[in-house]
Amino acid sequence: MIKRNTTLLLFIITLSLVALGTAMVYSSSATTAAQQKRKLISKKAPELLKEAVIFHHPAFLRKQIACVFLAIAALIFFYNFDYVKLGKYSAFFLVISALLLVLVLKFGVKINGAKRWLNVGLFNLQPSEFAKLSLVIFMARFLSEHKDKVKSFMKGFLPVLSILSVILVLVVLEPDFGSTVIIGAIVFFIWFIAGLRLIHLSSLFMASIPCAIVAILMNPYRIKRILAFLDPWADPMQGGYQMIQAQLAVGSGGWFGRGLGSGFQKYQFLSEAHTDFIYAIVGEELGFVGAALLILMFIILMWLGVRIALNAADYYTSLLSSGIVIMICLSAAVNFWVVMGMLPPKGLALPFISYGGSSLLVNMSAIGILLNISKNIEETLYCSPRVRYA
């Protein structure tokens, strides 16, 4: 049975992850920040460049710390916000997310050839992250409310599928293939838990394969990525470069790593070292001990979440908490696999660790909701039993 200290333990795990993440963001981003700074100087005043060669700059760290405070505020807000009410507004959230996804297609900031971000001053907002959480809340609400219709094709399957397709199409248009796959996967898992018919699930899975193939064939770079994944050494300087560098980074860590901040792969050998591939730097600098401990923390987080989901009082709460656990842990697991060359590379952040405000904000809000649920379960189990539903 659930223990009294679940809430506290979950909170501590989350904060530790965030703390470690902030440190790793500085370690891995300082070089990129310095590189950008140098570029800026070389444009404005090239003569200054020779005198002060800078290799570390805290520009990304500053932003990340601001985001951490914002995310903690969000966590506290959702910890106190009634999650039942949240479910009632879920359709509204979903519509807003969809609108943001439309907006990003029009006004998005283009980074590395993809419009995935909206510039909102402090950081670049990534609507697909918000869509992820909105979709999780919406699914929990919709599937628990129509629990008896889940197995029906017309009334249960089709409405969810149509809403899901809209979101996925919008995300894939950005283009953000990685997010599309991960959002699809999260929804599948929630749906599966809610009791979707296996025939529907498997036919959907079969149907998604040709879609994926079409999506892959539409963009030649995706083919290259998959080819590079299959044999990174075929083209070590182009397609296979990032994978090889990531694996070298992890592999050079050994048992105890090269020490926090003492890695060398982050000096532009590994691109995106502070975002999607931050785990490679964790492996290089903290070694097997540190990197495995990080995975263990995610396992503990998952176990705590699963216990909350199993002990939840109703289907909505249970689906919501399992959705959140899937959202966080699936992203993390896929990220680990991608970094270590077990899955083809895709743009996917490691929750709590990677640099990026949207991801941190969404994941911390999700943890806030989970903490809220956990707190309620503990109160109903150990304290004054309250009747929540009239």
Partner 1 sequence: MTLERSYKLRILLVALILLFMMTGAIARLYHLQVIKHKDCLARAINNQIRKKNLLPLRGEILDRKENALVVTKAACSINVDSSLIPEKHRRTLSRKLAQVLDIPQEKICDLLKKNKGHFPLARKESDETMCEISAILANLGISKYAIYPLKECQRIYPHDSLLAPVIGFTNMDKGGDNIGVFGLEKQYNEWINGEYKKTYPHRTALWQDLEPIEQKILEATYGNRIVTTIDISIQYAIERALRNALSKWHADYGVAIVQEVKTGEILAMASLPTFDPNKFYSYGPEFRQNRCLSMPFEPGSVMKNFTSAIALDLGLVRMEEMIDCEHGRAIVDGWRVTDSGGHGMGVVPFTKCFANSSNIAFAKVGMRIEPTIYYSYLNRFGFGQKTEIDLPEESSGIMHPLEKWNRHSRKSLSYGYEIALTPIQTITAVSAMGNGGKLMKPYVVSEIQDYKGSTIQKFTPCVKGQVVSPDTAQKVLQLMAEVIDSGTAKKAKIKNFLLCAKTGTTRKSHVKDRTEYIASFAAIFPLDNPRISCYIAIDNPRGAYYAADVAAPVFREVAEQILAYLALPPTFVEPEPTPACPQTASLPNLAPELENELPTLTIEDGVLPDLKGLTMKEALEALGSAAVDLQFIGSGVVIEQQPAPATPLSETKTCMLVFGKQEPTPARQKE
Spatial CB neighbours of 27, under 8 Å, sequence gap ≥ 6: 260, 261, 263, 266, 281, 285
Q: How far is the CB of 291 from partner 1 (least distance, A)?
A: 5
Is residue 248 near partner 1 by the rule CB under 8 A?
yes
Binds partner 1 by CB under 8 A, chosen from 322, 358, 359, 374? 322
| Closest approach of partner 1 to the CB of residue 316, in Å | 11
| 205 binding partner 1? (CB under 8 A) | no
- Candidate ranges 99-107, 114-122, 334-342, 358-366; the one touching partner 1 (CB under 8 A): 334-342
Is residue 192 close enough to count as binding partner 1 by CB under 8 A?
yes
Asked if 252 touches partner 1 (CB under 8 A), the answer is yes
The H or E element containing residue 116 is strand 114-119
**319: closest CA among 329, 328, 306, 331?**
306
Site string for partner 1, 107-136 (x = CB under 8 A): ------------------------------
CB 200 within 8 A of CB 154: no
Contact flag: residue 255 with partner 1 (CB under 8 A)? yes
Is 365 a binding residue for partner 1 by CB under 8 A? The answer is no
Rounded least distance, CB 179 to partner 1, Å:
18
291, two tokens: 């990197």
Alpha helices in the chain (DSSP H): 6-44, 46-49, 59-80, 83-88, 90-107, 127-145, 158-173, 177-194, 198-218, 220-230, 241-251, 278-311, 315-339, 357-382
Classify each residue of 103-116 as buried b or exposed e, where b means 16 or more C-beta atoms within 10 Å of its C-beta. ebeeebeeeeeebb
Phi/psi at 199 (5° precision):
-65, -40
| DSSP state for residue 99 in the 8-state scheme | H
- Candidates 126, 179, 265, 372: give the one binding partner 1 (CB under 8 A): 265
Interface size with partner 1, residues (CB under 8 A): 53
Which residues have CB under 8 Å from 300's CB, separation 6+?
A: 9, 13
Q: CB-wise, 21 or 283, nearer to partner 1?
A: 283
Stretch that binds partner 1, among 11-19, 72-80, 90-98, 294-302 (CB under 8 A): 294-302
298 binds partner 1 (CB under 8 A): yes
CA count, 13 A, side-chain hemisphere, 46: 1
Binding site for partner 1 (CB under 8 A): 31, 35, 53, 55, 189, 192-193, 195, 247-255, 264-265, 267-269, 283, 287-288, 291-292, 295-296, 298-299, 302-303, 306, 309-310, 312-315, 318, 322, 325-326, 329-330, 332-334, 336-337, 340, 342
